[in-house]
Chains A and B, each alone.
Chain A
Amino acid sequence: DQQVKQNSPSLSVQEGRISILNCDYTNSMFDYFLWYKKYPAEGPTFLISISSIKDKNEDGRFTVFLNKSAKHLSLHIVPSQPGDSAVYFCAAIAGRGNEKLTFGTGTRLTIIP
């Protein structure tokens, strides 16, 4: 039972354009969401997070949007750069006392120079 889903296994975007990665979740108890980026042969690296009390969070070129009613979040990267080519995982956690991070299935982003 995959509670966090990323329906696009891969995405290709031209350098300089906007990359939009999507994530859907089914567990209504999730209230904190994160995006991680993973290069081959490396562990995931934290990118940006958002609490369910917000609907948007920005950090430089990265913006995460949360639509609680649709149980959907997205990561926008603008402008996209070749170094952004990686696998992106969204992740979710339910409640302050919970220590379990549930990861999505991942989207491989390729930035075309």
Chain B
Amino acid sequence: DTEVTQTPKHLVMGMTNKKSLKCEQHMGHRAMYWYKQKAKKPPELMFVYSYEKLSINESVPSRFSPECPNSSLLNLHLHALQPEDSALYLCASSQERAYNSPLHFGNGTRLTVT
């Protein structure tokens, strides 16, 4: 069982839809992350929240909008996505910063944009 819970597990959306991915952890971790993973590629960092504040945005297009309502929750709001945005979206958390504090990953949301 993973301690980082992501919902939904699968999502199919059209290019005009608005949807949200949700992530929850109850380990008291202070850093939360969104990663994107395409098939046969490594996970790529999108966003980092540290103590509920956005600390890293890896030049992600504005059609992806992160939100951290509190220290246990992390959302990724999706709007006007493109088919090439289809990927596995992974949420992770760590006790403190990623250095010396391994990331715990959820099982991901498999997103398909049609």
**Nearest-CB residue, chain A, relative to B2:** A43
Q: Which among B42, B48, B107 is the interface contact of A105 at CB below 8 angstroms?
A: B42
B113 interfacial contact with A, CB 8 Å: no
Chain A 90-113 per-residue mask, 1 if CB under 8 angstroms from chain B, else 0: 000101111111111110000000
Q: Which among B45, B56, B97, B102 is the interface contact of A49 at CB below 8 angstroms?
A: B102
A contact residues, total (Cβ < 8 Å): 26
Tell me the smallest distance from the CB of B106 to a CB of chain A, in Å.
5
B interface residue count range (under 10 / 10 to 19 / 20 to 34 / 35 or more): 20 to 34
**Nearest-CB residue, chain A, relative to B106:** A43
Question: Are A43 and B102 touching (Cβ within 8 A)?
Answer: no
A25 interfacial contact with B, CB 8 Å: no
Taking Cβ atoms with an 8 Å cutoff, the residues of A that contact B are 4, 32, 34, 36, 41-46, 49, 51, 89, 93, 95-106
Taking Cβ atoms with an 8 Å cutoff, the residues of B that contact A are 2, 4, 31, 33, 40-45, 48, 50, 55-56, 58, 90, 92, 97-100, 102-108
